[in-house]
Amino acid sequence: MRDWKRIREVFAFLGFIASMVFVGLEIRQNTAATRGQTRQELAALNQEFLILVATDQTFSELLYRAWEQEGPVTPEEEYRVEMIQTLNLRRLENVFFQYQQGLVDETALRSYGLQRVDMNRPRMREWWIDKGWRSAFHPDFVAFLEGERLSTE
């Protein structure tokens, strides 16, 4: 009788261990699926922005003239390019948050245009610092972006 009780306890314990292994595998599989879905959603957002830049001639010309050449722009155009830059940095901020949460790795963080953000261009510095747009973003993202892309010289 006592042996049967021990045998049942051993089987119950083995059943418990097996169920914990199963739960662990399920969590691992769910995490991988979540990471893949997150990466896909970020890619879709990035694709929308790139399609806009590539297909809208007025948009791309204004973006190039204002941010790449730092050419003259009207007050209305200045507002438009500020909104474009806000959109661009919101995309990057979203990737940053996904990275912070462990949903994407560092390659995702660095592959959505971060290398194109030149915080040292006069127009960008004016927009970011002088006009105070940095306060529109989460402090963690601001610290990351400035640490990565802003020269302290």
| pLDDT digit string (tens) for the chain, length 153 residues | 678 888 888 888 888 888 888 777 787 777 666 766 766 676 777 778 778 878 889 888 888 888 888 888 999 999 988 888 888 888 889 889 888 988 888 888 788 777 778 888 888 888 998 999 999 999 999 999 888 887 654
What CA–CA distance (Å, rounded) separates 15 from 11? 6
Q: What is the pTM of this model?
A: 0.69
- At 55, the amino acid letter reads T
Which residues, including other chains, have CB under 8 Å from residue 128's CB and lie 6 or more apart?
Answer: 119, 134
What CA–CA distance (Å, rounded) separates 110 from 114? 6
What CA–CA distance (Å, rounded) separates 56 from 64? 12
What per-residue confidence (pLDDT) applies to 152?
A: 54
Residue with the two structure tokens 């879709």: 44
What per-residue confidence (pLDDT) applies to 47?
A: 77
